[in-house]
C-alpha cells in the first residue's frame, strides 16, 4: 500500500467516524406520528420524509408538496400533533408537568402570582359563597375575588377599593336578615294604613233615603 493510498484510507475512516458521531448526536425527534400529518401516508412513501418546525412543534411530511397544504391551514394539524404527543406521553407513563409544557408553565407562573381569596363568605354581602348558586370568581389586581352573585360583582366594580380594604381587615358585614342582599337599593316601607298593592279602597256607598 502506497503512502497516498494509506492517507486516503485514513481520511475515509475519519469521515466515516464523523458521520457516525453526528448520527449518534442527532436529537431525538418529538414528532409523535408514524405518518404524514397531511396525507396519512408513511413518511417514506414518497422517497424520504421532509421535516420542519412550526411554532416550536416538529412537523413531518411524506413530500415537500405537503408543506404548502400545511401552511395554508396549520392549526388543525398542529392540534392533531399535540394531541398525539400527549397521548404518547401518557402511554409512556410520563406526567405532563409544567416544566415540560410551556403553556402549563405560564399558567402555573400566573397562578403563583395570584393571592388566593381568604374568606369563606362574599366580601360584598357577607353571604355564603354558594347561597345563590356557583360563586363568581375572578382576579383583580393580582387578587382572587369570590362573590356570591353577579349583583355583588356589579357592586364590587363600582368601588373595588372599598372591598379590597375589607379583604385586608377581614371586616365583612353580617348577612342580611331576610337572606337576600339588595345591592344598595332600599325598599321603602309601606305607609301606615296604605292599601295593599293591587287593591283599591272601595268607595263609600251612598244611601238614598226613601220617603
Position 7 scores a pLDDT of 42
pTM: 0.38
Does residue 116 fall inside a structural domain?
Answer: yes
Does residue 73 fall inside a structural domain?
Answer: yes
Phi, psi of 83, rounded to the nearest 5 degrees: -65, -40
Does residue 55 fall inside a structural domain?
Answer: yes
- pLDDT tens digits, residue range 139-168? 888 889 999 999 999 999 999 999 999 998
Does residue 178 fall inside a structural domain?
Answer: no
Q: What would the grid cell of residue 130 be?
A: 354558594
Does residue 206 fall inside a structural domain?
Answer: no
d(CA 129, CA 135): 5
Return the higher-pLDDT residue of 198 and 48. Answer: 48
Residue 120 sits in the same domain as residue 85: no
d(CA 161, CA 62): 60
- pLDDT tens digits, residue range 76-126? 888 888 888 888 777 766 555 555 566 666 656 655 677 889 999 999 999
Does residue 148 fall inside a structural domain?
Answer: yes
Residue 33 sits in the same domain as residue 88: yes
Residue 84 sits in the same domain as residue 131: no
Does residue 10 fall inside a structural domain?
Answer: no
For residues 32 and 88, is the Cβ–Cβ distance under 8 A? yes
Position 110 scores a pLDDT of 57
Return the higher-pLDDT residue of 2 and 162. Answer: 162
Domain of 34 in residue numbering reads as: 27-92
Phi, psi of 167, rounded to the nearest 5 degrees: -65, -40
Does residue 32 fall inside a structural domain?
Answer: yes
- pLDDT tens digits, residue range 22-75? 434 444 568 989 899 999 899 998 888 899 998 888 999 999 899 999 999 888
In the chain, the number of structural domains is: 2
H or E stretch covering 60: strand 57-61
Residue 61 sits in the same domain as residue 31: yes
Q: Does 129 score more than 70 pLDDT?
A: yes
- Which domain-ending residue is among 149, 169, 189? 169
Residue 115 sits in the same domain as residue 160: yes
Residue 42 sits in the same domain as residue 86: yes
Amino acid at each position: 500500500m502506497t503512502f497516498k493510498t494509506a492517507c486516503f484510507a485514513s481520511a475515509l475512516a475519519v469521515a466515516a467516524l464523523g458521520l457516525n458521531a453526528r448520527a449518534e448526536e442527532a436529537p431525538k425527534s418529538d414528532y409523535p406520528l408514524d405518518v404524514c400529518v397531511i396525507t396519512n401516508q408513511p413518511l417514506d412513501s414518497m422517497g424520504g420524509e421532509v421535516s420542519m418546525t412550526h411554532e416550536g412543534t416538529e412537523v413531518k411530511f411524506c413530500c415537500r408538496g405537503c408543506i404548502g397544504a400545511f401552511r395554508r391551514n396549520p392549526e388543525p394539524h398542529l392540534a392533531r400533533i399535540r394531541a398525539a404527543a400527549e397521548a404518547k406521553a401518557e402511554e409512556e407513563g410520563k406526567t405532563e408537568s409544567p416544566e415540560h409544557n410551556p403553556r402549563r408553565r405560564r399558567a402555573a407562573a400566573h397562578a403563583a402570582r395570584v393571592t388566593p381569596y381568604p374568606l369563606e363568605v362574599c366580601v360584598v354581602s357577607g353571604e355564603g359563597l354558594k347561597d345563590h348558586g356557583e360563586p363568581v370568581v375572578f382576579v383583580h389586581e393580582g387578587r382572587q375575588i369570590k362573590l356570591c352573585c353577579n349583583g355583588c360583582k356589579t357592586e364590587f366594580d363600582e368601588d373595588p377599593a372599598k372591598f379590597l380594604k375589607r379583604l385586608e381587615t377581614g371586616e365583612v358585614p353580617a348577612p342580611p336578615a331576610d337572606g337576600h342582599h339588595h345591592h344598595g337599593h332600599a325598599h321603602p316601607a309601606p305607609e301606615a294604613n296604605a292599601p295593599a298593592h293591587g287593591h283599591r279602597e272601595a268607595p263609600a256607598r251612598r244611601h238614598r233615603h226613601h220617603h
